[in-house]
Structure 1
Amino acid sequence: MDIFSSGKVAVITGAASGIGLAAARRFAALGMQVCLVDRSDAVAAAAADIGHGAAGFVVDVADRAAVDALAAEIRARFGAVSVLMNNAAIHGGADALSSPDLWAQVIGINLMGVLHGVQAFVPAMVDGGQPGVVINTGSKQGITQPPGNTVYNVSKSAVKSLTEGLAHSLREATGGRVSAHLLIPGFTYTGMTAAAAKPAGAWSADQVVDFMLERLAASDFYILCPDNEVSRAVDAGRMAWAMGDIIENRPALSRWHPDHAQAFAAFMAERD
């Protein structure tokens, strides 16, 4: 895509590590002016390591005023933004009955941080007359809703809905000149989920970014990443089953319900 080219400005949140850092490196290698944003002070070292004029900004995306100020500073220093990647997230680990403070933190970063980025940067992209791309990082958990980390699931489900609505609004407002896309990583070795060494089943963050750029070139909205454990067919089956809970009036999260375990296994076996 020509938009990922020399002189264009890219803003990436959650860029001190993981997928955000991998994207920053790749965009900088393409000649873009990259702005790395993270609440960790490590973002400055990450930007210095990338070089190519990359700039680091310590900002908590949950703070609307701070994100608005960031957008104004980036426009003043570097000009119009062509690529916005709202990627910042924390993992959570709370169910519906626990940890109200953690709920506030996760929703504040994972959902409101994305909304703050959209509302701070995208209106100028719409008004600027130039092509633009918005990438919001979701999760398969926001679609299949596995139990055990409800707060994260809720945040990423909401990011999916937000990005779908944004894509429609941008299509209506710009006719596709500015587009929105939902990145849906698979099992990825990042700072959020990292073990001491990359598990064999995981993709690297660089693989996710390679796949993202490939699918953006094909104009995909849903950038559904496989990994070394789960194929596209398996993902499709799990997602179809999840939607079937509503259509078939099964119990919530029936994939994990003992009365439906055999039916789910048979459903998936048909897709092997």
Structure 2
Amino acid sequence: MSQHPALKAGNSAVITGGASGIGLAAAKAFIELGMNVMIADLKGEKLKRAGDELAELAEKKGVKALAHATDVSDLSELEELECAANRAFGNIHVLMNNAGIQPGTAVFGKQMPWDRIIGVNLTGVINGTRIFAPEMRAHGEPAMIINTGSKQGITTPPGNPAYNVAKAGVKAFTEALQHELRNIEGCRLEAHLLIPGFVFTPLTANGRDEKPEGAWTPEQTVDFMLKSLEAGDFYILCPDGEVDRATDEKRMMWAIGDIVENRPPLSRWHPDYGDAFKAYLNGDGHGH
């Protein structure tokens, strides 16, 4: 498989939220391609274990893998991460702003989970991009920023409003970022929005040890991401074992249809519109 030009042997990647799940799977995939990798995650045993595992893999491939303790909601820690990555590797070619948390929230619930989710899932992505991008652009080699969004940031289902707000923000920010980059003459840095499906990770496990049948593994998600990057996709919309792309598209079209058709917000879950949505999903309607 011919890879995206930023993903090549000798290049370097930084991945936040890299100690588990999609971030760790991406780190392994990049090392397999012969890239140097620095993962960033919260300080602790999980980061140390992941760092050791990646260092062993990297040694076999003759590359470097490093782990750096970072809380992405803290601007100064992101600045330290960028300095450490530049010191270790020189030019950075891939930044994956992937760190994310998912404590439960309610509109009128406790303040702390709101602050943490917005701080990690949204501000961490914005600040990570703003800190790393100038240098990644200036070195002039092919480079990319991959921001991890969510389908929940597009269809905004009820259940965890802070998470939806943060992921909707990541979508809007990454779209603005790619528009900006593509309008800079000679710019070889680009942005992509990763939109995972149902993936079995520590974030989604909820205490389960076994992967649910419908969930993808982090490795499947990263494999799909690499194929999408090779194809030049900006929106990396991942299916999973339960939901195919056609279903995702219909859910998203219905969501935007709430505005166009002047329906109540989140009409898909509204008692007056539930049946109409089901009919639309089954191909019996047009989202009206």
TM-score of the superposed pair, with normalisation by structure 2: 0.92
Q: Is the 8 A contact 1:182 1:223 kept in 2?
A: yes
Aligned pairs (5 A) from 1:63-78: 63-78=74-89
Task: Give the unaligned 5+ runs of structure 1.
Answer: none
Q: Deviations over 1:20-59 (max 9, x none)?
A: 0000011011110000000142223212212212100001
Q: Which residue of 2 aligns with 1:49?
A: 53
Q: Give the distance between the partners of 1:175 and 1:224, measured in 2 at CA.
A: 28
Moved more, 250-259 or 89-98: 89-98
Shift of the 225–174 alpha-carbon distance from structure 1 to 2, 3 Å rule, reads farther
Q: Return structure 1 stretches of 4+ with deviation > 3 angstroms.
A: none
**Which residue of the other structure, out of 38, 42, 45, is the alignment partner of 1:39?**
42
Note the C-alpha offset of 1:10: 0.2
Note the C-alpha offset of 1:2: 2.9
Q: Which residue of 2 aligns with 1:13?
A: 16
Q: Deviations over 1:206-262 (max 9, x none)?
A: 000000000000110000000000010000000000000000000010000000011
Q: Is the 8 A contact 1:38 1:59 kept in 2?
A: yes
Q: Give the distance between the partners of 1:240 and 1:40, measured in 2 at CA.
A: 41
Q: Which residue of 1 aligns with 2:33?
A: 30
Alignment size in residue pairs: 272
**Which residue of the other structure, out of 154, 176, 187, is the alignment partner of 1:165?**
176
Q: Is the 8 A contact 2:100 2:117 kept in 1?
A: yes
Q: Is the 8 A contact 1:94 1:103 kept in 2?
A: yes
Q: Give the distance between the partners of 1:39 and 1:257, measured in 2 at CA.
A: 39
Q: Give the distance between the partners of 1:271 and 1:50, measured in 2 at CA.
A: 50
Q: Is the 8 A contact 1:13 1:88 kept in 2?
A: yes
Q: Which residue of 2 aligns with 1:133?
A: 144
Aligned-partner SS, 1:203: coil
Q: Which residue of 1 aligns with 2:61?
A: none
Q: Is the 8 A contact 1:126 1:174 kept in 2?
A: no
Tell me the C-alpha RMSD between the 2 structures: 1.3
The one-letter code sitting in structure 2 at the alignment partner of 1:10 is: A
Q: Which residue of 2 aligns with 1:231?
A: 244
Q: Which residue of 2 aligns with 1:186?
A: 197
Moved more, 30-39 or 42-51: 42-51
Q: Give the distance between the partners of 1:146 and 1:240, measured in 2 at CA.
A: 14
Aligned-pair identity in percent equals 50
Q: Which residue of 2 aligns with 1:214?
A: 227
Q: Which residue of 1 aligns with 2:155?
A: 144
Aligned-partner SS, 1:96: coil
Q: Give the distance between the partners of 1:271 and 1:218, measured in 2 at CA.
A: 33
Q: Give the distance between the partners of 1:222 and 1:137, measured in 2 at CA.
A: 10
Task: Give the unaligned 5+ runs of structure 2.
Answer: 59-63
Q: Give the distance between the partners of 2:190 and 2:277, measured in 1 at CA.
A: 36
Shift of the 35–80 alpha-carbon distance from structure 1 to 2, 3 Å rule, reads same
Note the C-alpha offset of 1:176: 5.5
Q: Which residue of 2 aligns with 1:105?
A: 116
Moved more, 141-150 or 68-77: 68-77
Note the C-alpha offset of 1:271: 7.6
Aligned-partner SS, 1:183: strand
Aligned pairs (5 A) from 1:89-100: 89-100=100-111
Q: Is the 8 A contact 2:145 2:190 kept in 1?
A: yes
Q: Is the 8 A contact 1:96 1:150 kept in 2?
A: yes
Q: Give the distance between the partners of 1:196 and 1:76, measured in 2 at CA.
A: 39
**Which residue of the other structure, out of 241, 262, 266, is the alignment partner of 2:275?**
262
Note the C-alpha offset of 1:92: 2.5
